[in-house]
Amino acid sequence: MSIFERIQRIARANVNWLLDKAEPAEQELTSKIKELEETLLEGRESAATYGATFRRLETEMQHLQQQQAEFTARAEAALKAGDETAARKAVAEKVRMAERIAQLKPGLDRGRQTYDMLRGNMINLQEQLKAAKLKFEDLKARKRTAEAQKAFDKHLSRAVSLNPDGVTFDRLEDQVLQSEAEVQINQELRGDALNEIELAQQARDMQVEAELAEIRERLNQGKAG
């Protein structure tokens, strides 16, 4: 298969069928991009060679047409000068140029069509390659994001226990409630101990007053006797 047929086949096939896939395989897209790059490289080299040949034929055609105009001018000048032999010779050369042009024209026309088609296919391939590379970069970025999210979720599931309402705090809440209850009980116990001390002190004070009253009464009785 020639490079021209290959370029036409790939250009017709188009890479859009691959880009339209929801998740094209990375290897498949890589292979397609590589094929496009190789085809473009070969196509550019062939286009350069073919283009040089085509341009040479165009230059030859332009030169022949220019010579036709020159021989026409010579024939006219010779006839004005009365030199019919020179005029006939110039016309003969013009006819020879016309024959050569007639020979070149079909090939040149086909060459121009082929060259234009080749250029169009090359432009198409370049657009496909650009689109494929952009798609490839987008897929790789999405893949990295998905892998990072997956790793994060994995670490998160190890770090905490989740329920439908979010993070579970039951155990920690139980510990806090237990500590608060212990503090409250300790405060109540300290309060009870203070009350007992106060009652004992009051009992002692009452006993002291009673004994003092008894002593005063004895002393008063002694003075009276």
**Is the pLDDT assigned to residue 81 strictly greater than 50?**
yes
Q: How many CB atoms lie within 10 A of CB 201?
A: 10
154-178: average pLDDT: 63
pLDDT at 43 (0 to 100):
78
CA distance 63 to 148: 67
Q: How confident is the model at residue 22 (pLDDT cuts 50, 70, 90)?
A: very low
Higher pLDDT, 16 or 89: 89
Transcribe 203-224 into DSSP letters. HHHHHHHHHHHHHHHHHHHHHH
In the three-class reduction of DSSP (H, G, I as helix; E, B as strand; rest coil), residue 98 is classed as helix
**Closest by Cα among 146, 96, 121 to 36:** 121
pLDDT in tens, 196-221: 667 677 777 788 777 777 777 777 87
- How many residues are present in the chain? 225
Give the chain's mean pLDDT. 76
181-199: average pLDDT: 64
pLDDT at 73 (0 to 100):
92
77-87: average pLDDT: 90
pLDDT in tens, 97-115: 889 999 988 988 888 888 8
**Closest by Cα among 97, 113, 130 to 54:** 113
138-158: average pLDDT: 79
**Closest by Cα among 37, 33, 43, 51 to 1:** 43
CA distance 2 to 36: 15
- φ/ψ of 67, rounded to 5, equals -65, -35
Q: How confident is the model at residue 52 (pLDDT cuts 50, 70, 90)?
A: confident
pTM of the prediction? 0.48
Q: How confident is the model at residue 54 (pLDDT cuts 50, 70, 90)?
A: confident
Q: How confident is the model at residue 178 (pLDDT cuts 50, 70, 90)?
A: confident
Domain boundaries, the chain: 3-145, 167-224
* Cα 116 to chain centroid, rounded: 35
Higher pLDDT, 174 or 102: 102
